[in-house]
Amino acid sequence: MTLRPSPAPAGRALGLAAAVASAILALLLLAGWAAPSWAIYTATIALAKGLVVLGLVMLLRMGLISFGHGMFYCFGAYVSGLLASGAGLTDALALTLAATLGTAALGLLLGLLLAGYRGVFFAMFNLALSMILYGALLKSVSLGGSDGVSVPAPSYFGLVPPDGMRSLAAYGFVATIACAAGFLLWLVSRSQLGLVLLGVKGNEIRLDYLGISARRLILVAYVLSAALAGMGGSLVAIVSGHVIPEMAYWTTSGEFVFITVLSGPGSISGAFAGAGVFEAVRLATGQYLPNAWQLLLGGFLLLVILFLPDGISSLARRRTGTADASAPPAGRVQGEG
């Protein structure tokens, strides 16, 4: 059975979603104009990390958790960073595209190996692979070792923003990409592919009987999640001007898993909102309670998996009682950018 991108979202739903995505983008840009510069930087990083979370949300819909996506995040960041510092390519869009494609290729390579694993093994195999990248980067003198690589300031379509505008330009760029990616993911979620993904979690053997290969589905979703993680990493590299091996360390991956579980598998905007809340809370606790940050995270995570197995975004859904009763509750797909 070949998977077609149908049942196509009706033209009106499609238009509505595109309108919602554009509206969110416009709101984000407007908010960026008014916000103080520290908030802009935090929001930019949060949006970029939200992309990584988006990829993990796809995996979570299949019941898979990866404790190693820091690997793709780091890989994308290094591709961008090395292209910018070594090859002198500074166009932000070109860098991000190159990093995304490069990471997708890596994801395909590893995905072929990983698609046969589930549960704890999938999570831990990813962890091992990410630690290989971390160790290799840490010891490679030519790639900066533990100091990492600094990334020169980017240009946008041939224009270099003046000093005072740099963070705002980066924010606008990242917000645009995040909204576009969110919209595309919404399309994927609504497609036949996106719907059968839920079946991997539900019952693999029934999928087999439908003539759908769970292995291939996992591979597709894995490559997608890797590409998104690479994109996020590349954006962080461009925005922060620096890449370090710690981006592949397992605590980074743990953070992504944390945000993913927190925001839940249901919603796309929830992934970005989760990343935003995470970065904001990190900023606040870093300021006031530097040694209680993980305590807070851990406690919160326990509460969420105990009482809100579908994540925080399920709260909003429960309250508004969103329609679309035909979709299974665990992976109900919301119509939002």
Which spans of this chain sit near other proteins (rule: CB under 8 A)?
Answer: 63-65, 113, 116-117, 119-121, 123-125, 127-129, 131-136, 138-140, 203-205, 250-251, 254, 257, 261, 291-295, 297-299, 301-302, 305-306, 309
Shortest distance, position 68 Cβ to other proteins, whole Å? 10
Shortest distance, position 87 Cβ to other proteins, whole Å? 25
> Across the strands, what pairs with 91?
155
Query: Smaller CB distance to other proteins: residue 251 or 326?
Result: 251
Shortest distance, position 199 Cβ to other proteins, whole Å? 14
Query: Smaller CB distance to other proteins: residue 286 or 298?
Result: 298
| Cis-peptide, bond into residue 152, ω within 30° of zero | no
Shortest distance, position 31 Cβ to other proteins, whole Å? 31
Core vs surface per residue 144-181: b (16+ CB within 10 A) or e: beeebbebeebbbeeeebeeeebbbbbbbbbbebbbeb
Shortest distance, position 326 Cβ to other proteins, whole Å? 24
What's the rounded Cα separation, in Å, for the pair 81 and 235?
10
Query: Smaller CB distance to other proteins: residue 166 or 215?
Result: 215
What's the rounded Cα separation, in Å, for the pair 336 and 333?
9
Nearest to 59 by CA among 67, 182, 186: 67
Query: Smaller CB distance to other proteins: residue 57 or 127?
Result: 127
What's the rounded Cα separation, in Å, for the pair 257 and 70?
10
Shortest distance, position 208 Cβ to other proteins, whole Å? 10
Nearest to 53 by CA among 193, 232, 310: 232
Shortest distance, position 300 Cβ to other proteins, whole Å? 8
Query: Smaller CB distance to other proteins: residue 224 or 304?
Result: 304
Kindly report the CA angle at 109 between 103 and 113, in degrees rounded to 5? 130
Query: Smaller CB distance to other proteins: residue 38 or 121?
Result: 121
Core vs surface per residue 63-85: b (16+ CB within 10 A) or e: bbbbbbbbbbbbbbbbbbbbbbb
Query: Smaller CB distance to other proteins: residue 10 or 205?
Result: 205
Q: Strand runs (DSSP E) across the chain, as ranges?
A: 149-150, 242-243
What's the rounded Cα separation, in Å, for the pair 211 and 1?
6
